[in-house]
Amino acid sequence: MTAAISVRNLRKVYPGSPEVVALADASIDIEDNEFFTLLGPSGCGKTTLLRMIAGFEHPTSGTLTMHGKDLANLPPYQRPVNTVFQSYALFPHMTVAQNIGFGLEMLGKPKAEIKQTVGEMMELVKMSQMADRQTGQISGGQQQRVALARALAPRPRVLLLDEPLSALDFKLRKDMQLELKRLQMETGITFIFVTHDQEEALTMSDRIAVMSAGTIRQIGGPRDIYDHPAERFVADFIGDTNFVPAEVAASKGTDADVTLSSGKVIAARMPEGEAMQGKVTLAVRPEHASICPEAEALLPGTLSEIVYFGTDTHYHVALDDGTGFVVRRQNRPDEISGFSTGDRIGVQFAPGVGQVLRD
């Protein structure tokens, strides 16, 4: 089966002095019915990639195909792709219903069919009561739903979403995340979602491509990306991470044994296709480690700070090798750690938890 969207060595360079490389050799295959997220900080090229799929930007080089069909020479209005814009871009001179029906109208669908589909779409996004409102008379969250309905109405093969939730407040954003996931399941349309919010990406996506500086750093499922970041940027950008200096003692495939600064040896994971030697950096998530008495420690140190967060507590440990380490521990009413600031303490984590990072 060919991929819904296949991106091969796609490159976008904006001329000027100096020229700006917005996207450097990106390659991705996005499958049918997938909720695929492009995640990265602003300026990483994720929006450029999305706009090229939509047809608003032309690639400098590389190929872009949809179900095996080349998209390069198709203008946006001939691509079976619709976009939900960051600013929603609702037509201010049309009502909610006219906005949602616009795409169908442009496709030349019969009036009865447009009316029916618009009705269904308004049902789907729970906006049926608002059909005749002007777009300026509805709230941000409602505008968001209309933008979504408008993009879904022509039944595109692929729906592109350009940071559609960034303008909503926290509570509404949470609701819309679930709503988007539901819509994607119900419609079976491929969603390509652009965001800089790692939590949003982890919650909704089937797969995530983490991008920075115009390059795709890692592609994988949310769990995969979170538990096994392949490189320092990914580990740092997604969630909180401890970077632990280590040295490779032995490695075979993705399994490796590493020696920590304390001299202890523990099993860790090697990034796929890498066989690194010598000094490396190990990523360990704060919640994957635990604190323990000094005697049982993988890494000994001094407890420098205890920060209480309600659901959990962060223990900041100043390790003897001079680096810092944070352990996150979920708070339970029946458990107390029994340590206090200034105590000699140790950090532990299970074999296979540490991830060796690519340079």
Partner 1 sequence: MADTSLPANATEKRAARVRWLLLAPALLVLLFAASGPLLITLVYSMLTPGDYGGVIWQPSADAWFNVVLQRDIFDDTLSWSDAHLSIFWRSVKLSLMTTVGCIIFGFPTAYFIATRPKKQRDLWMLLIIIPFWTNILIRTFAVVELIRNEGTINTVLMWSGIIDAPIQMLFTEFSILVGMIYVYLPLMVLPLYASMERLDFSLVEAGYDLYATRMKVLRRIILPLVKPGVVAGSILVFVPSLGAYVTPRVMGGGNQLMIGNLIELQFGQGRNWPLGAALSITLLAIVMVALMVYVRTAGSEEPKHG
- Residues lying near partner 1 in the complex (CB under 8 A): 54-56, 75-78, 81-83, 85, 87, 89-93, 102-103, 106-107, 133-137, 150-151, 154
- State in angstroms the smallest separation of the CB of 134 from partner 1: 4
All residues at 6 or more sequence positions from 1 whose CB lies less than 8 Å from its CB, including other chains: 31, 32
- Which residue, among 193, 191, 254, has the nearest Cα to 224 in the 3D structure? 254
Distance between CA atoms of residues 82 and 213, nearest Å: 26
Looking at the Cβ atoms of 85 and 339, the one nearer to partner 1 is 85
Looking at the Cβ atoms of 75 and 278, the one nearer to partner 1 is 75
Looking at the Cβ atoms of 90 and 225, the one nearer to partner 1 is 90
Beta strands 190-195 and 312-319, pairing class? unpaired
Distance between CA atoms of residues 131 and 120, nearest Å: 12
Looking at the Cβ atoms of 55 and 59, the one nearer to partner 1 is 55
Looking at the Cβ atoms of 117 and 198, the one nearer to partner 1 is 117
Distance between CA atoms of residues 285 and 52, nearest Å: 35
64, 79, 140, 151, 283 from 72: Cα distances, Å = 6, 10, 34, 21, 40
- State in angstroms the smallest separation of the CB of 91 from partner 1: 6
How far apart, in Å, do the first and last CA atoms of the chain sit?
A: 35
- State in angstroms the smallest separation of the CB of 70 from partner 1: 19
- State in angstroms the smallest separation of the CB of 30 from partner 1: 18
Beta strands 35-39 and 190-195, pairing class? parallel
Looking at the Cβ atoms of 106 and 250, the one nearer to partner 1 is 106
Longest Cα–Cα distance in the chain? 77
Looking at the Cβ atoms of 104 and 216, the one nearer to partner 1 is 104
24, 28, 47, 189 from 75: Cα distances, Å = 23, 21, 18, 21
- State in angstroms the smallest separation of the CB of 201 from partner 1: 23
Identify the bridge partners of residue 61 per DSSP, sorted by sequence position.
11
- State in angstroms the smallest separation of the CB of 89 from partner 1: 4
- State in angstroms the smallest separation of the CB of 241 from partner 1: 36
